[in-house]
Chain A
Amino acid sequence: MKHFMYPKLVASVAVGVALAVSGAFATAHAQKKGGELKFVVPAEPPSFDGHRETTFALIHPIAPFYSTLIRVNPSNPASPTDFVCDLCEGSVPKPTNDGKRFTFKIRKGVKFSDGSTLTAHDVKATFDKITFPVKGVASARKAFFSMVDKISTPDASTLVFDLKYASGAFIPAVAMPYNFVYAKKILDKDMHWYEKNVMGSGPFLWKGRSAGSFIKGSRNPNYYHKGLPYLDGFEAIFAKKQSLRVQAIRGDRAAIEFRGFPPKSRDDLKKALGDKITVQEGDWNCSLIVTPNHKVKPFDNPNVRRALTLAIDRWGGSKYLSRIAIVKTVGGVVFPGHPLAATKEELHKIAGFWPDIKKSRAEARRLLKEAGVPNLKFELHNRGVDQPYKIVGTWMIDQWRQVGITAKQRVQPTGPFYATLRKKKDFDVSIDFNCQSIVNPLLDVSKFISDDISGNQYGNYQDRDLDKMFDKMNRAADPAMQRKIMRDFEKRALDTQANAFVTLWWYRIIPHRSYVKGWKISPSHYLNQDLANVWLDK
């Protein structure tokens, strides 16, 4: 493998930024070129179209083939606010026209893998497909772009977004990793072409696929970020069983897995391989939520719902559960560590987060008795996946047992689970989750607003006050104002109304082979996956 001498200045700045901001380890070697990265993916994506799919199983094997307009900073992916240009030039533009206009300059000289040149027209066609899909075309994240009024291209290298109102949620939406940039001439002919075919401008070229087994990519020699990618190629291997994925890393059949392993697997790998394993961990932009069905008695009574959340010892549970499950941090509706998130003191004031669990449980019992259901019995509807759903479910049943509530688990495989949540609604209380890619709390909390507005609220309720707060928050330009409304929103959603409640936030643990360098962990398993910066120290 040749030693590759990257222009030293840029390299040292990047490294310095990484050290200073993310605190991650920095490498003293220069990046080596060559080698094939093998990694394991838990599932295979149903199609290759990023605009259509919502599963991370699409991102891991397919993102390396495509470029996006902007993205999280690959050297600092843990930051929820640090975005950089991918296909645009310079830095991410600031809005003009009272915050309603964003003008992007598109890079010149970018080529698709079929040789054609990428221009602003291609980017416009892409975002048209996402924001204003024609009849018959599915766009999974259309709602994230509801603030967009018009997209235009004054010339071949300028792209202009005009918004209906200023919004702090626009840039994070554009940075979402699913916004693969497609070629206009292909979209004009067939909007569905990209579902079964891959043709992008990213760091890797399509090399092949074995259905159910693997997807391969090889280096794109004409990649516009000069000097990248370091890898000769990659192989994404599909393996459904978690323990097998862990063993694959141990037996060096794969070098890394990009979703996350439970704490015990990390410990086992470390014990077995010592230095040959590096562990990166951090908070995950996923929360495990409990959603009572407001149309089922007695869960229509907010006090009963409050009792449910008061019974749970989150602070104590976090200590133990973080040893056996992929959950850890206690937090409210906002991603812990985000500027909009509640501090520990603020959390202590919310039901279910009180520092004194005995007092909390006594209050829970009192509320149940008052509501006339001291020995409440119900079924907890859960998803048939171990980590962390079933484990946390088992723990919660034990928590509720301690205030006299008897709960039984009703577990369903993913398909029927969603059918029950979305359509049939024949559940008492259900476990649920809220996973997002880019940390975008202003939009992420739409999980709690009325179900005729929210796309993913399953508790069967409308809460107009909450809707109003949500709207105000999203239109507030001042972060301090946003934060204040967010606190009110949180208090109402989790405490006074206890519409649904957050149990714990997930925790991402990635133990990988130490020879894999250049990949940095982020709060989401959807981010920073184009593999351009990854290199093998072998």
Chain B
Amino acid sequence: MENAVYQYIVKRLFLMIPTLIGAAILVFFLLRLIPGDICELRMAGTGGYFDKEALAICQTELGLDQSIMVQFADFVWGFITFDLGNSMWTGQPIAEEISLRFHLSLQVAIMATLTAIFIAIPLGTISAIKQDTWIDYLVRAFSIAGIAMPSFWLGILIILGLLIGTQAYSGIPWMPPIQFVPIWEDPVHNISQLIWPAVATGYRYSAVATRMTRSTLLEVLREDYVRTARAKGLLEKVIINRHALKNAMLPVVTIFGIEFAFLMGGLVVTEQVFNLNGLGKLFVESVGNHDFTMTQALVMLVVTIFVFTNFIVDIFYAWLDPRIRYN
């Protein structure tokens, strides 16, 4: 590989480290600012009796009575050695707790991204070619409707629609399964549960991607070399396919990269509505439970995914567009 590219890659790798450190510091101290205590929550429950002694015992068990710096050192060391430790709330190993939810979130993220791609690219292309015609307006209105609807509203409508619709049709109301089974164990159960949130989410993300595809395609279609190609007499279709689309993919790929990172752990409301046992749900629960170790681990996971995705997109850019490398 060229020296410049190699340097670029190394530089970007190095730049990830401060971001990770920054995220670690942020999450650590942010969590401890939230009032409330995990031990109290365990004992709170019914509002019935609870023992002040039991509270102290619990705090010692979880290491909460140690000084802040010790706790932080533990946390950072754990991250470096990939030892995530145990959840403060359940006592089970964090890696186990996360893996199942990670699986689900990943699957939904992939399915949603695929949905978004299948909607965005064709629609964005049409919209760019037929700019300012009624087709363009229709496509834009359709995609904006996707962002405008609150996702939980859409989810509620979907489930209710399924129940009422199937009952009207066959007399028996049907709804998607509510517990998660991995796809290799029972593909029908798995898909029939995840297709709905995937499509609902995919529709939302296609909106941003459609707009991005359209605008970059427009930009590229006016570039000089396209004009030159047109002047040379190449067919419009060939121009679009070969030259324009390839270069227009750059920003689109960026968007997908970043949004994908967001899909992992950001779908909190959708997961609630469809009862998905994903990372978003785990996130909200662990913050609500003041489960420091779990929340910290999850944040670092999501930030790492985000940073790596950015990194890969940057490398992709550098490979496609040499000008960037020399910046």
Residues of A bordering B, CB below 8 Å: 40, 46-47, 52-56, 133, 135-144, 195-196, 210-214, 235, 237-241, 243-244, 247-248, 250-254, 272-273, 413-416, 418-420, 422-424, 432-437, 446-447, 455-456
Contacts and interface: CB of A to CB of B under 8 A. Distances in A.
B275 A239 contact: yes
B281 A240 contact: yes
B252 interface: no
Interface string B99-124: 01100000000000000000000000
A414 B44 contact: yes
Contact of A213 (B54, B100, B175, B288): B100
B2 interface: no
Interface in B38-56: 40-51, 54
B275 A212 contact: no
A238 B162 CA distance: 21
Interface stretch (B13-21, B177-185, B196-204, B234-242): B177-185
B136 to A, nearest CB: 39
B290 interface: yes
A241 B54 contact: no
B48 A211 contact: no
B185 to A, nearest CB: 11
Given A240-B275, A247-B175, A251-B173, A434 B47 contact: yes
Nearest to A384: B288
User: Which of B57, B179, B272: most chain A Cβ within 10 A?
Assistant: B179
A253 B46 contact: no
Interface of B: 34-37, 40-51, 54, 57-58, 60-61, 89-92, 96-97, 100-101, 156, 159-160, 162-163, 167, 172-175, 177-180, 272-275, 277, 281-282, 288-290
B39 to A, nearest CB: 9
Contacts of A420: 35
Contact of B273 (A53, A138, A244, A432): A244
Contacts of A240: 272, 275, 281
Contacts of A247: 159-160, 163, 175
Contact of A47 (B91, B180, B281, B282): B91
A456 B57 contact: no
A146 to B, nearest CB: 10
B44 A142 contact: no
A458 B101 CA distance: 38
A142 B101 CA distance: 36
Nearest to A250: B173
Contacts of A136: 57, 60-61
A272 B167 contact: yes
A241 B47 contact: no
User: Which of A56, A142, A211: most chain B Cβ within 10 A?
Assistant: A211
Contacts of B162: 251
A54 B48 contact: yes
A254 B178 contact: yes
A247 B281 CA distance: 19
A456 B90 CA distance: 24
Given A237-B178, A247-B159, A247-B175, 5 more contacts: A211-B92, A241-B275, A244-B274, A447-B47, A456-B50
Given A46-B90, A424-B35, A251 B175 contact: yes
